[in-house]
């Protein structure tokens, strides 16, 4: 197993598959790098070095008491990129991971980065505020926090059985295995870490970070995303990144890394192959 120890003593677990130009995958809440296994295998088999890490507090990384916010997540990502001396990287972030890579670019720039991809991602800002009236009410996120304190295991069951994969839509047929994998990964994360991460993914304002994107950027979002609605996430982010390409998956839910993995894998590979150093 591969780990890097950050300056504050946190062990960050990562998988490093394949050879070629590097791709770094940042996962969603409350998951870990296992959630990327389809994309990681596919892209590694198609000529890329693909690295996926467990965010601090998630999966096999240290369950730290502090640092459960975007600035630290981005600092950990920067430490990984610097430690492995990765260059011409394509950063791909799903959901909360989209926030992580966005804050990374906003803070550390694009000296090491060639491309960015936001998949069902939380930027620009999920929370409804005076200057973001289209966001989701605070009560939505307070409800997630309350559910976590009351019965975290059941909260993850409810997410997996309902909105995350769109299994609450008529005619949906999401496998039990797919739903179980979400629950299992969630329960492998730390209780405090996932609780505090709710504020990180919902209340962090990424608008200034997105304005600093100066690289080719792909935004992929399902138009039936019940977790990060497309108007709040994908469409708003694409409008803030100059030249961004937006691909909309009709009828697709939040968890398209699983439910639409073949389509997503193809779109990611096409975007990766479009880069000319």
Q: Which of 225, 237, 258, 267 is catalytic?
A: 225
In the annotation, is 254 catalytic?
Answer: yes
Q: How far is CA 156 from each of CA 31, 126, 145, 199, rounded to the nearest angstrom?
A: 10, 20, 12, 17
- How far apart (Å, rounded) are the C-alpha atoms in residues 113 and 42? 21
Q: Which of 33, 61, 95, 148 is catalytic?
A: 95
- Could you identify the residue written with the tokens 């200057």? 131
In the annotation, is 95 catalytic?
Answer: yes
- How far apart (Å, rounded) are the C-alpha atoms in residues 49 and 141? 36
In the annotation, is 88 catalytic?
Answer: no
Query: Are the C-beta atoms of residues 51 and 14 closer than 8 Å to each other?
Result: yes
Q: Which of 53, 58, 221, 254 is catalytic?
A: 254
Q: Which residues participate in catalysis according to the annotation?
A: 95, 225, 254
């Amino acid at each position: 197993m591969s780990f890097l120890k950050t300056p504050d003593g946190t062990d960050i677990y990562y998988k490093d598959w394949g050879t070629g130009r590097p791709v770094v995958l940042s996962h969603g809440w409350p998951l870990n790098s296992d959630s990327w296994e389809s994309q990681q295998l596919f892209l590694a088999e198609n000529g890329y070095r693909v690295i996926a890490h467990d965010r601090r507090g998630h999966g096999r990384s240290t369950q730290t008491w502090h640092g459960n916010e975007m600035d630290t997540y981005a600092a950990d990502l920067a430490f990984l990129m610097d430690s492995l001396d990765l260059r011409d990287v394509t950063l791909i972030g799903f959901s909360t991971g989209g926030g992580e890579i966005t804050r990374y670019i906003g803070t550390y720039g694009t000296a090491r980065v060639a491309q960015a991809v936001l998949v069902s991602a939380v930027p620009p800002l999920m929370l409804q505020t005076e200057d973001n009236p289209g966001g989701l009410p605070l009560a939505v996120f307070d409800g997630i926090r309350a559910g976590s304190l009351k019965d975290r295991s059941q909260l993850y069951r409810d997410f997996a059985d309902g909105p995350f994969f769109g299994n609450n839509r008529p005619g949906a047929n999401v496998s039990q295995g797919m739903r179980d994998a979400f629950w299992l990964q969630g329960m492998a994360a730390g209780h405090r870490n996932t609780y505090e991460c709710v504020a990180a993914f919902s209340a962090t304002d990424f608008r200034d970070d997105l304005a600093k994107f100066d690289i080719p950027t792909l935004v992929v979002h399902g138009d039936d995303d019940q977790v990060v609605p497309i108007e709040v996430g994908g469409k708003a982010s694409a409008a803030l990144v100059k030249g961004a390409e937006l691909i909309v998956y009709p009828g697709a839910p939040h968890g398209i890394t699983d439910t639409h993995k073949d389509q997503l894998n193809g779109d990611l590979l096409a975007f990766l192959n479009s880069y000319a150093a």
